[in-house]
Copies of this chain bind each other. A is one copy, B any other.
Amino acid sequence: MLKIALDAMGGDKAPGEIVRGALEAVSSLTVEVMLVGLDGPIKAELNKYPANNRISVVSAEDTIDMGEHDLAREIRRRPKASINVAMGLVKSGQAQGVVSAGNTAAVMTSAFFSLGRLEGIERPAIGIVLPFNEGRVFLIDAGANVDCRPSHLVQFAKMGSVYMEKVVGIARPRVGLLNNGEEFGKGSLLLQEAYEALSKSGLRFVGNVEGNNVHKGIVDVVVADGLMGNTALKAGEGVADYILQEVTKALKTHPLYALLGKLFKPTLRRALGRLRYEEYGGANLLGTNGVVVIAHGRSDAVAIKNAIRLAVDAAGSSLVETMRSAFAASELAAAGN
């Protein structure tokens, strides 16, 4: 059975909701969870529930000061911090993936430091599964990288394609480049060069895609630098919040609305929830030598369970191995040129 190392100390609601998330995961998924962190607090939480032999505790007795100015140095100086110990379990093969609701930059730094990058990938990136209708679209990079080069965007596109093919099961995923217009020649110099490079990449590149078409199901992978990708993701969340707020206000204007609202709000919340990666699952850190899922800092037990599911999906479909050979093959091809 797959084992996932769960950083029990990461996140606003750690360790309580993290421990509960682990329990929800093992009861609904085929997985074992290794809770990594301070022994005492984890066991105090676990003792509130019946014992479960798919849950284990791995002690990690150091903590990271998130207020530290040089977070990267702090991560390297604290090998026994929970996030580093969790990564170590993946590196040694004791676990097949890591889930953490800790600070994104801290998780990324720990992954680079402990697992390293896959050969041929200059910049690991964050990929998010977004919904459309009944389908899914993969947005990469959702915020890890700024000041990208065209070759980085091609690598993001390739990582996204491997993800959609192996984990979601889409054959020959269609790749679109996030831009401010559909036509060839739109966008910055970076985007124009990336367009050219994607056209020659061997990927199924279908051209530019505008922000309003991300959720339309016309592409399977949306590639962007971390600034545009993050903007697309976050602006969508902002609009969803705004709509929910307007609807809530409208439901208060008449007693009948309130009654109907009770029936309908769960449906609306479900539609909106699919837009939030923190509820729907988590962010996939792609390009490092292991499965890493970053859950939102605010994650509750359900969000943690969903993040574990993402890690299980990735580990169970040999994502990292496929990614490694895909990039190794392209290195060979490039060397043969």
A212 to chain B, nearest CB (A): 4
A133 near B211: Cβ-Cβ < 8 Å: no
B263 near A234: Cβ-Cβ < 8 Å: no
Apart from A211-B234, A215-B242, list 11 A-B contacts with CB within 8 A: A143-B181, A146-B188, A147-B189, A187-B227, A191-B227, A212-B238, A224-B231, A236-B239, A242-B275, A250-B271, A260-B264
- Contacts A131-B242, A242-B215 known; A146 to B180 CB distance under 8 Å? yes
* Complex Cα gap A194–B147 (Å): 14
Write the A176-213 contact mask toward B (1 if CB under 8 angstroms, else 0). 00111100000111010000000000000000001111
B228 near A212: Cβ-Cβ < 8 Å: no
A94 to chain B, nearest CB (A): 33
A264 near B271: Cβ-Cβ < 8 Å: no
5 contacts between A and B (CB under 8 A): A188-B227, A211-B234, A211-B235, A231-B232, A243-B275
B234 near A212: Cβ-Cβ < 8 Å: yes
Q: Which residues of B contact A274 (CB under 8 A)?
A: 246
Count of chain A residues near B, Cβ 8 A: 58
Determine whether A241 belongs to the interface, using a CB cutoff of 8 Å to chain B.
yes
A263 near B257: Cβ-Cβ < 8 Å: yes
A275 to chain B, nearest CB (A): 6
Contact of A241 among B212, B237, B259, B270 (CB under 8 A): B212
* Complex Cα gap A270–B245 (Å): 13
229-279 of chain A: CB within 8 A of chain B: 230-243, 245-247, 250, 253-254, 256-257, 259-260, 263-264, 267-268, 270-272, 274-275
A180 near B226: Cβ-Cβ < 8 Å: yes
* Complex Cα gap A240–B228 (Å): 18
Determine whether A216 belongs to the interface, using a CB cutoff of 8 Å to chain B.
yes
Determine whether A214 belongs to the interface, using a CB cutoff of 8 Å to chain B.
yes
Contact of A212 among B213, B237, B260, B264 (CB under 8 A): B237
* Complex Cα gap A186–B6 (Å): 28
A146 to chain B, nearest CB (A): 4
B226 near A246: Cβ-Cβ < 8 Å: no
Closest to A192 in B: B146
A264 near B257: Cβ-Cβ < 8 Å: yes
- Contacts A189-B147, A260-B260 known; A232 to B230 CB distance under 8 Å? no
* Complex Cα gap A240–B274 (Å): 13
B211 near A238: Cβ-Cβ < 8 Å: yes
A223 to chain B, nearest CB (A): 13
Q: Which residues of B contact A210 (CB under 8 A)?
A: 230, 234
Q: Which residues of B contact A259 (CB under 8 A)?
A: 260
Write the A123-146 contact mask toward B (1 if CB under 8 angstroms, else 0). 000000001110000000001001
Contact of A147 among B188, B216, B231 (CB under 8 A): B188
Closest to A133 in B: B245
Closest to A187 in B: B146
